[in-house]
Each structure stands twice: as structure tokens, then as C-alpha cells.
């Protein structure tokens, strides 16, 4: 496996969680939002859309977190709630449909210091730093991604 500047940790389409049933979106949103600072990520909200529709409000949330591990490695985790459709209001939360996608990316040389030396950059990542990337950085971000996956699943009462 060749290590490049941006390395996707997630499966090709991200980790996809689909759920249809009763849940509290506000509480799920708060848990995910606070997960980022709790894990030392800077939190950004790329999109927060809500549309009032006759069949129920439709919500799109695009959240992401960025963490500089050191001067060279940066982790980025995205959580996208696509078209949450709140069909029926319940006593707590809504009966809704949700599709959540989790993506994690490890970015090397995030300060672009090696930009002018692509061959050296390749050697550095694939020979000198490879062991540390595979044994330290990779498992670290993978575990964080799976931890977030478990959090979302637990909030939806899904099997972890």
C-alpha cells in the first residue's frame, strides 16, 4: 500500500448507518458535537439545513472535526446526516428516517512543507515514517472513527 498525502481510513463510501424509527435528533446532534472537543478536535459545521415540509421537516447536517496530531500529521473526521426526515412527533423526539455517513482522513504534511519535493515526500512517508504511520497514526484515527460510530449507533439503539 502506497502512503500518500491524504489517506482515507473509511470504506469507499464511508461508514453508512441507516435507521428508521423513533429517536431524538437534538440529543444525537449534541452528543456528536461534543464528541469532537472531547477528543481534542476543532469542530466545524459545514452545513445546517432545515426545511419545513408537509410530510415532516427535512434536516441536513454536515459536521467535521480537525485535529493536528503534530506538525506533520492531521486527522479529519466528517459526520454527515443526510436528509433526516422527521415524520411524526413523539413525546420525546420524532419518528424519523436517517442516513448517517462517517468518514475519516489522515492528512500528511498538512502544513505543505514538502510540497516542492514530491519524491522526497514519497520516500519519507513510505520508507522512513511508514512504520510509525501504520502502527501508531493509522490505528489511532481508526479507533477514533469507530468510537464515533459506536456513539451514533448507541444513540440510535442499534447493535454495536
Partner 1 sequence: MKIKIDLLKEQKIKWEGIIDFGELYKYMKLWLEDNGYANERNLEQRYIERIKGDKKQYEIFWHGTKDKSEFFKYNIDVAILVLGLADVEVEQNGIKRKMQKASYEFKISSYIESTPLWDNLKGLHRIYYNLIIRKRIDDYLRELYGKSTGFHSYIKEFLGLRD
Provide the binding-site residues for partner 1, judged by CB under 8 A: 25-26, 29-30, 42-52, 60, 62
Q: Is 117 helix (H, G, I), strand (E, B) or coil?
A: coil
- How many CB atoms lie under 10 A from the CB of residue 85? 17
CB of 47 to partner 1, least distance (A): 4
- Choose between 8 and 30: whose C-beta lies nearer to partner 1: 30
CB of 43 to partner 1, least distance (A): 8
- Choose between 49 and 154: whose C-beta lies nearer to partner 1: 49
CB of 149 to partner 1, least distance (A): 21
- Choose between 81 and 121: whose C-beta lies nearer to partner 1: 81
- Choose between 44 and 117: whose C-beta lies nearer to partner 1: 44
CB of 50 to partner 1, least distance (A): 5
CB of 112 to partner 1, least distance (A): 12
Burial class (CB in 10 A: 0-12, 13-18, 19+), 158: middle
Cell for 44?
466545524
How far apart are alpha carbons 23 and 33 in whole angstroms?
17
Cell for 112?
505543505
Our CA angle for 59, 101, 34, nearest 5°, is: 75
Nearest to 24 by CA among 102, 101, 95: 95
- Choose between 45 and 160: whose C-beta lies nearer to partner 1: 45
Amino acid at each position: 500500500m502506497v502512503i500518500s498525502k491524504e489517506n482515507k481510513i473509511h470504506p469507499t463510501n464511508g461508514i453508512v448507518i441507516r435507521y428508521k424509527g423513533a429517536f431524538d435528533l437534538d440529543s444525537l446532534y449534541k452528543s456528536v458535537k461534543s464528541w469532537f472537543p472531547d477528543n481534542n478536535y476543532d469542530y466545524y459545521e459545514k452545513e445546517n439545513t432545515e426545511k419545513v415540509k408537509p410530510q415532516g421537516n427535512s434536516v441536513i447536517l454536515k459536521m467535521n472535526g480537525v485535529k493536528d496530531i503534530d506538525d506533520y500529521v492531521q486527522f479529519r473526521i466528517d459526520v454527515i446526516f443526510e436528509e433526516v426526515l422527521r415524520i411524526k412527533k413523539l413525546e420525546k423526539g420524532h419518528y424519523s428516517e436517517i442516513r448517517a455517513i462517517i468518514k475519516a482522513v489522515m492528512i500528511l504534511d498538512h502544513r505543505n512543507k514538502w510540497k516542492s519535493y514530491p519524491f522526497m515526500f514519497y520516500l519519507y512517508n513510505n520508507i522512513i515514517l511508514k512504520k510509525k504511520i501504520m502502527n501508531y497514526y493509522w490505528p489511532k484515527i481508526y479507533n477514533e472513527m469507530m468510537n464515533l460510530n459506536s456513539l451514533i449507533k448507541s444513540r440510535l439503539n442499534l447493535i454495536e
